[in-house]
Amino acid sequence: MPALDFMLTGAHIVDGTGAAAERADVGLRGDRIEYVGLSADARADVTLDCTGMIITPGLIDPHSHSDWSALGNPDAFSTIHQGVTTEVVGNCGVTYAPVADHDVDAAAGALRALGYDGPVDWRGFGDYMTRVHAGPTAQNLMWFVGHTALRSAAHRADDPPREQLRLLEEAMDAGAIGFSSGLEYGAGRFSATAELVALAQVAGKRKGMYASHIRNRDAGLDDAVDEFFEVVAGGGVRAQLSHLNVRHDTGATPGAWERAAERVVNERRRGTDVLADMTPYPHGIGMATGLLPPWLAERSPDEAAALLTNREIRERVRRDSDRYWRFVHRGQWHRVRLGVSPTHPEWEGLTFPEIAARHGADEWECLFDVLCAAGSDMGSVQLLGELFTESHLSEAIAHDHFLLGVDAFTTCREGALAGRTRNPLFYHGHTHYLAHHVPAGTLSLETAIHKMTGMVAEHFGMRDRGVVRAGAFADVVVFDPAILERTDTWSLPQRYADAARHVWVNGVPVVTDATHTGRRPGLMLTHRP
């Protein structure tokens, strides 16, 4: 056997297929796994004694928003330290390309809040991806283009959506695997099903994918799931039903989630290539503008902000905002924290009752003041909400048709991002599956790793990734199970996870002894049917 670059000895291998862990050594050479087995005489430039450790494929997040922060954090500190080597980005319809001239200032403001202070001098999706990967990045990225971005960049009178179709074709020519939609907020709220079907047909002809944050996850969940599958069938696309869950106490009918999950199962039986995904914590991020009623949300951010300075408009919004996080309309503001605010960073991380006490006004007034101050950057205001019950989380995480994602973005402990990502979700979301849900008996370690690696790679068409086997790409993690066992992933904000002792991306060590090496070997991945 030719000399290896790295030989990892003494560990148990959880190979990403769901098979039981087995004792084996792993050899890496170049960007590939060269050897998996037991060999006492294999030669390597570096040999690591991994006795007592667990070797897994690099984790793959099927639903990430790290495209938002990749320019501000190309080292991917918070995610790479968790062993995440690949992220599927561009979800929920929100990407910062394509971008029209009239949206450049808003995009620049949003990206500035996420650590990037450079120019927004791209317009097309391909130019944006080139900018991100010229960085380059520590982790691999696979891209959707956002439907909201397509809508905004297209001509205003784009009906039928010919300009959107052209922009989608351009994005897929540049490497996007398809398009995503966010139908509960932003411009996606005002799209017709026929528009989405037309776009899906373009993606389907190119063997692409459609991922959707569907239109409703409370009282209208059944109809929203029906619409999702109408788009999927109309376009003949492979599909991902994003974070299929039901927010607690928001009016969902009994059995709505169970019917939705069973629909995914039945559609797969009929031959539809579809899966869903879930998040690890009871809380998650959301767009503040999603709370606004349609008659206000359909206006430009500047116009909406100006209207919100009017007392009568504010009173009308209070009456008409029973949507999205509907528990807010029921007065449950204690479940909501301010996540990102370009103009009120001193309030980030506080609950709205805490903000109200500081501001001397009630919670609605505080939200209105934050949105007014943001102006054209209104779309960058993010919330963190306590959304789900533990029992609902466990049921979805254990479901065999659900992948395990985090629905957040990679962050770091320095600069603009540090103050905007204080929640453990950003630093420990992936680790939480292994440190909390596995010991709790929600699922086995082998199943958890499969739903975070090989199952994701297969569904998204990432050939030779997501498994530990000879010939696969050397995206590899060495976990210390003792550290996983003692890690408190509930209350460690802004501390990098350290159970992933060693992380390789495409054969390059990015984390060594739980320390970032500063190397950025990440690639832009495209679907390979």
Query: For residue range 193-210, what is the model confidence (pLDDT) as tens digits?
Result: 999 999 999 999 999 999
pLDDT of residue 323: 84
pLDDT of residue 528: 65
Domain-embedded: residue 42: no
pLDDT of residue 150: 96
Residue 157 pLDDT greater than 70, yes or no: no
Same domain, 293 and 413: no
Q: How confident is the model at residue 36 (pLDDT cuts 50, 70, 90)?
A: very high
Domain-embedded: residue 487: no
Q: For the chain, give the percent of residues with pLDDT over 70.
A: 98
Domain-embedded: residue 503: no
- From 408, 426, 452, the end of a domain falls on 452
Q: Which of the residue ranges 40-49, 349-358, 447-456 would you say has the lowest mean pLDDT?
A: 40-49
Q: How confident is the model at residue 288 (pLDDT cuts 50, 70, 90)?
A: very high
pLDDT of residue 225: 98
pLDDT of residue 492: 75
What CA–CA distance (Å, rounded) separates 221 from 422? 31
Same domain, 408 and 313: no
Domain-embedded: residue 268: yes
Is residue 444 within 8 A of residue 438, CB to CB? The reply is yes
Same domain, 393 and 379: no
Cβ partners under 8 Å of residue 271, min gap 6:
none
Residue 529 pLDDT greater than 70, yes or no: no
Secondary structure (H, E, C), 277-336: EECCCCEEEEEHHHHCCHHHHCCCHHHHHHHCCCHHHHHHHHHHCCCCCCCCCCCCHHHE
Domain count for the chain? 2
Residue 527 pLDDT greater than 90, yes or no: no
Q: How confident is the model at residue 130 (pLDDT cuts 50, 70, 90)?
A: very high
Domain-embedded: residue 519: no
The mean pLDDT value of the chain amounts to 94
Burial classification of residue 522, based on how many CB atoms lie within 10 Å of its CB (0-12 exposed, 13-18 middle, 19 or more buried): buried
Residue 65 pLDDT greater than 80, yes or no: yes
- From 406, 428, 452, the end of a domain falls on 452
Cβ partners under 8 Å of residue 92, min gap 6:
65, 146, 180, 181, 182, 213, 242
Q: How confident is the model at residue 1 (pLDDT cuts 50, 70, 90)?
A: low
Residues 482-501: pLDDT tens digits? Answer: 999 999 998 877 899 999 99
Same domain, 144 and 269: yes
Domain-embedded: residue 27: no
Same domain, 335 and 361: yes
- From 366, 386, 406, the end of a domain falls on 386
Residues 231-260: pLDDT tens digits? Answer: 999 999 999 999 999 999 888 899 999 999
Residues 77-126: pLDDT tens digits? Answer: 999 999 999 999 999 999 999 999 989 998 998 899 899 999 999 999 99
Same domain, 142 and 200: yes
Backbone angles phi, psi at 303, to 5 degrees: -70, -40
pLDDT of residue 377: 85
Q: For the chain, give the percent of residues with pLDDT over 90.
A: 83
Residue tagged 């062993």 (tokens): 83
Residues 294-333: pLDDT tens digits? Answer: 899 888 889 999 999 999 999 999 999 888 899 998 899 9
Same domain, 359 and 442: no
Written as one string, the DSSP assignment of 469-507 is STTSB--EEEE-HHHHHH--TTS-TT----SEEEEEETT
Domain-embedded: residue 31: no
**Domain of 307, in residue numbers:** 285-386
Q: Which amino acid, one-letter code, is at 307?
A: L
Same domain, 376 and 416: no
Which CATH number is 445's domain given? Answer: 3.20.20.140
Same domain, 158 and 180: yes
Same domain, 337 and 369: yes
In 140-206, which ranges are continuous DSSP H helix?
147-153, 162-173, 193-205
Same domain, 161 and 257: yes
Domain-embedded: residue 488: no
pLDDT of residue 421: 84
pLDDT of residue 40: 62
pLDDT of residue 67: 97
Residues 50-63: pLDDT tens digits? Answer: 999 999 999 999 99
Same domain, 356 and 440: no
**For range 9-18, the mean pLDDT:** 97
Cβ partners under 8 Å of residue 165, min gap 6:
198, 199, 202
